Structure 1
Amino acid sequence: MTPRIRGNDYTVLQPPALGSPWTPRLRASVVVPAYANQAKLDLTLAGLARQTYPADLLEVIVVDNGSEPRLRLPEIRPRHTRLLVCETPGRARARNTGLAAATGDVIHWMDSDVVPEPEEVEAHMRWHHLAPYLSVTSYLRFTTAPLPDPADVAGADDLAKLFEPAEPHAWIEDLVERSQGLTRSPRPFSIHIGGASSVSARLFERAGPMDPEMILGQDTEMGYRLAQAGAVFIPDPQARAYHLGPSMRMRDSTPVNRVSHALVTDRVPGYRWLRTHPARQWKVPQVEVLVDATAASYDEVRATVDGALAGTVTDLAVVLTGPWDELVPEQRAPLKDPCLDLALLRAHYTHEGRVRLATAASDTLSPYRLRLPPGWVPGEDSIGGLLAMARERELGLVSVLLAEGAEGVTAARLERTEAFSRAALVTAEGEDADDAVDEMFGTYWADGETHGFRAAAEAPAYMNPRTAYRKRVEAQAEVERLTKEVERLRGQVTKWRDEAGKWRKSAVEFRREIGTLRRQVSTLRGQVSALRHAQGLRGIARGLTRPFTFKKS
């Protein structure tokens, strides 16, 4: 039975220790895109030639990405090594050339300036024997040591003697440490790097090849698509390799980020902080709303779609499913056309950029899909609230109870794409995918009325003309006004503090003056008392000096 990993907690898997007895059975295809620099390629192949993984289960495909002069295969190389030439140069195209030619159960990307330790491939493959939906990444160390001879690499008992001192792949190790080994990361796909990562070939069948339009950031975009296909990402510190020289990002981090962010933002909704515009559309939206246009009237479907489009979540797209290819362009009696409602919907939404007409639902790259029954209208923040709940609780499914009666339950469903993709990889025939999703991600039932959903008859036929965008503009203006008011009050408080300081200073000086006056009064009182005492003594003295007379009786 295929293991069911909850979230990205791969710690439930117990791979065999390196060097311990175990029986490999899966074939590994190491794809090495290369451009120029024959000397570094020779070292990469020398490192692959001494792998502990069985040679009969290992093939290496080197893809020359337009080198002049052409690259060649050196004498020291794995037994099953091929050299291909990419007819249309480009990093993604070179990898796709190797991917198309690979025959292995696992595809192991490796750059032509990476020298693996002898156990590197074995470290990867021991994981892939445990589950068919894993992506494993090596720990790289970046060395600036002089390049040794390929024979020295092939015969070395310890590569550290040839390549140390070296620097670690700092951002990966920091990410792994902060996320408890990547088990608690909201974006574990970020660790997918082309330098030394391996992926089940079955996942590539679901996710598709590299995107040739990505001139930079290909690895991140590929990692995101692998995540939507159900991948679990594993950083293995025992899978080690040396990178010959610094990476491109180490050399030119600012220009590399500028280019990669411009491309990744459109394709990877997981990096939400890069999507700073409040209302624009992206190639891959955050959520796809799926509405069956054949299951209700034009008015009901329109109320549902307009409600979704008018909400606070603008990073979304609506897919209307129906037999659009069966509609006849013109009718002699259009009001009697049995497909009139479908025709009206097509006419109404043909030029709406966020609405797409499809004959059936297909796989989506959006991280979430909301299946919304026609005739039910989400409130202004209904979709946003469901998304927040799913993210915070890391749920694979949020079901929303809309109505319950004799005919059964009517519900909306917010589905996490990677959860249902993984469920498709592990469920047995006849098993309910929802049960597998609940086991690996968790599910939750929510009340529709509480979350703002209303039947079309109870909601405005068409949303209030004061759209969500206008409300956001007003809210932003209010935020700016309040921010200015806070700044004004802070200035006032500062002014009051200055005034209070002045008053405190004046009070201190006043108290000092009072103290001086009190001392002066006390001195004067002493002087007055002394004067009075002196005057009393003088009176006594005068009395003593008068002649004393006796009166006769």
Structure 2
Amino acid sequence: MIETPVSTPRVRGNDYSVLTPPEIGSWTPRLTVSVVIPAYGGQDKLDLVLAALAVQTYPAELTEVVVVDNGTSPPLRLPEPRPAGTRLIRCETPGRADARNAGLAASGGDVVHWLDSDVVLERDAVEAQMRWHHLAPYLSVTGYLRFSEARPPQPAEIADAAELAPFFEPAEPHSWIVDLVGRTDGLRDARRAFSLHVGGSTSVNRRLIEMTGPMDTGLMLGQDTEMGYRLAQAGAVFVPEPRSRAYHLGPTMRMRDMDRVTRVSHAFIPDRVPQYRWLRSHPGRQWLVPYVEVVVDGADASYEDVRATVDTALAGTVPDVGVVVTGVPEPETRERRAPLTDPCLDRTLVHGLYAHEARVRFTASAAPAPFRLRVPAGWALGEDTLATLVDLIEERGLGMVGLLLSEDGEGPGGGVTVARLERTAAFNRATFVQEPGAAGEAGRTADAGRGGGETEALDDAVAEMFGAVWIDGAPVGLLPAEQAPVPVGRRSAYRARAEAQAEAAKLAKEVERLRAQVGKWRDEAAKWRKSTVELRREVGSLRKEAATLRRKRSIKAIVRRVIYR
């Protein structure tokens, strides 16, 4: 194991610029490194890889190489030249992740250097990465690959060459890494720096791997990214090292068939990497790793208080939430004859209520959620509380947002009561940089709902490396259960949608009724128009008759005047 220095550097976020690696060839290494190479077939390429490793500038006595034959038939062999400390083991379980895990288990270096069996390193590539690992015990360093389709040289030529470029140029750079590093100020302001963890040529401090566990063998593709995510939650800082140069013999599978590779990886990665928010677009799905884990301190709390907090946590606008209820062990026995007088009744009720709710656990979760809200039972979360807090911690890159809930005897339990939204990566990194004798993880988790001196060492480290703020809980909707509104959540949205649909149907019927009425009015108006035309015709006829009568009367009058004259 690595002995952590008395004063470990404190890197803020992913800004590794506070670390200054020594010049290559001008320092004295002390850490051991295990180069783990999973391989299936490709003996000719492996020969070149081992030839390049045999002449590395990093001390041979500090280097071991573990080649994992992943079921090649006929089996792979160790050629000459090769590093003195090279071993060949066999892993019959097919899959790159299984082979890597076998190599990891067989290795013992302070640092693990992943290397693909078709990646040929320049002489100083391992040293270029290892000089970083001597500065801090929580780094993941990735070298720069170039992709070459040139006819490869002989292993002896590789071993004798001072520079590999004449053999492999022209070669294409790893454009994705170059672009990522370029648009994030050298990865120093990248929000998802863990994407840099690629298996071609990346080294990781073993202590980080021990915290995260081995590679996920349940994935078909994307294992490097998923492990990078877990390393980030363990507190890793990701460093791109352009001096660590290597040549990849031919294009990668992703380069050859990007669309199909993306299709496969996107079916598995969303469950495990919650920070890829665009892959979790479904509004109501649950995922293997939650985006936020709510830790409810239920010790000495009533069933009603625990339920008030848990139910409101699950009813918010952040759908991928998990809940861990602490301090509520399941009773060993239950009172069967007189259950209402059972002294453990409240604990029994809590376990009974959430026994079949997959999002609620009573033991610490193994899933490394990026954010963790610690809150005492009896406090209700508003519909947007989690979303508001996560927006705050993300927008400012903070390590913690503390919430003052009550003081001076007010609120459930009396005294000063607080809640905390913690960035998992920040608190795990703080465990690397604590001064000797400072409180550890156990001290931090023992008192989830209240402030205390046990948390000060970690809190100070988190504040220095990521930043921390304290705010009032009420404005963000974190209230005592008796003062909080009834949670509505997605059920309310469903009800509102159903009511809106019913109202729309009602209005549609009213529109049809009015249209029918308008139709009747139009028919009546047509009839009136027809009657009006007929009436006008009749009036015109009567007028003609009247005019005729007037003329006849005039003629008779003239005749009379003539006769009687």
Whether TM exceeds 0.5 here: the answer is yes
Q: Counterpart of 2:346 in 1: which secondary structure?
A: helix
Letter of the 2:494 partner, please give it: R
Q: 1: CA distance between counterparts of 2:187 and 2:96?
A: 27
> 1:430 is matched with which residue?
438
> 1:143 is matched with which residue?
148
The total of aligned residue pairs comes to: 473
Letter of the 1:439 partner, please give it: E
Q: For residues 363 and 160 of structure 1, do their structure 2 counterparts lie closer, same or farther at Cα, with a shift above 3 Å needed?
A: same
Q: Counterpart of 2:482 in 1: which secondary structure?
A: coil
> 2:257 is matched with which residue?
252
> Is the Cα contact below 8 Å between 1:127 and 1:134 reproduced in 2?
yes
Once the two structures are TM-superposed, the CA of residue 293 in structure 1 deviates from its matched residue by: 2.4
> Is the Cα contact below 8 Å between 2:71 and 2:91 reproduced in 1?
yes
> 1:9 is matched with which residue?
15
Aligned-residue sequence identity (percent) comes to 61
> Is the Cα contact below 8 Å between 2:330 and 2:351 reproduced in 1?
no
> Is the Cα contact below 8 Å between 1:364 and 1:417 reproduced in 2?
no
Q: Which runs of 5+ in 1 are unaligned?
A: 478-553
Q: In the alignment, does 2:68 pair up with 1:68?
A: no
Once the two structures are TM-superposed, the CA of residue 240 in structure 1 deviates from its matched residue by: 0.3
Q: In the alignment, does 2:413 pair up with 1:389?
A: no
- Cα deviation digits, residues 343-384 of structure 1 (max 9, x gap): 1111111111211222xx456500001111110001110111
Once the two structures are TM-superposed, the CA of residue 130 in structure 1 deviates from its matched residue by: 0.3
Q: Counterpart of 2:230 in 1: which secondary structure?
A: helix
- Correspondent of 1:470 among 469, 494, 502: 494
Letter of the 1:352 partner, please give it: E
Q: Counterpart of 2:475 in 1: which secondary structure?
A: coil
> 2:233 is matched with which residue?
228
Q: 2: CA distance between counterparts of 1:441 and 1:464?
A: 34
Q: 2: CA distance between counterparts of 1:250 and 1:104?
A: 32
Once the two structures are TM-superposed, the CA of residue 331 in structure 1 deviates from its matched residue by: 2.4
> Is the Cα contact below 8 Å between 1:378 and 1:453 reproduced in 2?
yes
- Correspondent of 1:78 among 83, 94, 99: 83
- Correspondent of 1:452 among 477, 497, 500: 477
Letter of the 1:248 partner, please give it: M
Q: 1: CA distance between counterparts of 2:185 and 2:497?
A: 40
Q: Counterpart of 1:387 in 2: which secondary structure?
A: helix
Letter of the 1:367 partner, please give it: P
- Correspondent of 1:377 among 361, 376, 380: 380
> Is the Cα contact below 8 Å between 1:327 and 1:339 reproduced in 2?
no
Q: Counterpart of 1:125 in 2: which secondary structure?
A: helix
Q: For residues 465 and 25 of structure 1, do their structure 2 counterparts lie closer, same or farther at Cα, with a shift above 3 Å needed?
A: closer
> Is the Cα contact below 8 Å between 2:97 and 2:216 reproduced in 1?
yes
Q: In the alignment, does 2:24 pair up with 1:18?
A: yes
Q: In the alignment, does 2:106 pair up with 1:104?
A: no
- Cα deviation digits, residues 109-157 of structure 1 (max 9, x gap): 0000000000000001000000000000000000000121101111112
Once the two structures are TM-superposed, the CA of residue 430 in structure 1 deviates from its matched residue by: 2.3
Q: Counterpart of 1:235 in 2: which secondary structure?
A: strand
Q: Counterpart of 2:23 in 1: which secondary structure?
A: coil
- Correspondent of 2:40 among 26, 35, 38: 35
> Is the Cα contact below 8 Å between 1:378 and 1:454 reproduced in 2?
yes
Normalising by the residue count of structure 2, what TM-score does the alignment of the two structures yield? 0.81
- Cα deviation digits, residues 481-527 of structure 1 (max 9, x gap): xxxxxxxxxxxxxxxxxxxxxxxxxxxxxxxxxxxxxxxxxxxxxxx
> 1:216 is matched with which residue?
221
Q: Counterpart of 1:301 in 2: which secondary structure?
A: helix
Once the two structures are TM-superposed, the CA of residue 467 in structure 1 deviates from its matched residue by: 2.9
Q: In the alignment, does 2:76 pair up with 1:51?
A: no
Once the two structures are TM-superposed, the CA of residue 314 in structure 1 deviates from its matched residue by: 1.0
> Is the Cα contact below 8 Å between 2:68 and 2:90 reproduced in 1?
yes
> 2:515 is matched with which residue?
none
Q: For residues 155 and 472 of structure 1, do their structure 2 counterparts lie closer, same or farther at Cα, with a shift above 3 Å needed?
A: farther
> Is the Cα contact below 8 Å between 1:310 and 1:468 reproduced in 2?
no
Letter of the 1:452 partner, please give it: G
Q: Which runs of 5+ in 2 are unaligned?
A: 1-6, 440-456, 502-565
- Cα deviation digits, residues 449-474 of structure 1 (max 9, x gap): 111111111124x5248736538968
Q: 1: CA distance between counterparts of 2:313 and 2:389?
A: 13
> 2:563 is matched with which residue?
none
Letter of the 1:88 partner, please give it: T
Letter of the 1:425 partner, please give it: F
Q: In the alignment, does 2:411 pair up with 1:411?
A: no
Q: Counterpart of 1:137 in 2: which secondary structure?
A: strand
Q: For residues 138 and 476 of structure 1, do their structure 2 counterparts lie closer, same or farther at Cα, with a shift above 3 Å needed?
A: farther
Q: 2: CA distance between counterparts of 1:217 and 1:468?
A: 38
> 2:137 is matched with which residue?
132
Normalising by the residue count of structure 1, what TM-score does the alignment of the two structures yield? 0.83
Q: 2: CA distance between counterparts of 1:364 and 1:389?
A: 23
> 1:202 is matched with which residue?
207
Matches for 1:299-310 after TM superposition, within 5 Å: 299-310=304-315
> 1:335 is matched with which residue?
340
Q: 1: CA distance between counterparts of 2:167 and 2:124?
A: 17
Q: 2: CA distance between counterparts of 1:473 and 1:64?
A: 58
> Is the Cα contact below 8 Å between 1:310 and 1:380 reproduced in 2?
yes
- Cα deviation digits, residues 26-60 of structure 1 (max 9, x gap): 00100000000100000000110110011101110
Q: In the alignment, does 2:445 pair up with 1:421?
A: no
Q: Counterpart of 1:405 in 2: which secondary structure?
A: coil
Once the two structures are TM-superposed, the CA of residue 414 in structure 1 deviates from its matched residue by: 0.4
Once the two structures are TM-superposed, the CA of residue 88 in structure 1 deviates from its matched residue by: 1.6
Q: 2: CA distance between counterparts of 1:468 and 1:86?
A: 53
> Is the Cα contact below 8 Å between 1:35 and 1:67 reproduced in 2?
yes
Q: Counterpart of 2:232 in 1: which secondary structure?
A: helix
Bigger mean CA deviation after superposition, 117-126 or 364-373: 364-373
CA-atom RMSD, angstroms? Answer: 1.8
- Correspondent of 1:443 among 446, 457, 468: 468
Q: 1: CA distance between counterparts of 2:195 and 2:484?
A: 42
Once the two structures are TM-superposed, the CA of residue 18 in structure 1 deviates from its matched residue by: 1.5
> Is the Cα contact below 8 Å between 2:123 and 2:162 reproduced in 1?
no
Q: 2: CA distance between counterparts of 1:471 and 1:393?
A: 36
- Cα deviation digits, residues 280-305 of structure 1 (max 9, x gap): 10000100011122331111111111
> Is the Cα contact below 8 Å between 2:335 and 2:342 reproduced in 1?
no
Once the two structures are TM-superposed, the CA of residue 391 in structure 1 deviates from its matched residue by: 0.4
Letter of the 1:53 partner, please give it: Y
Q: In the alignment, does 2:272 pair up with 1:267?
A: yes
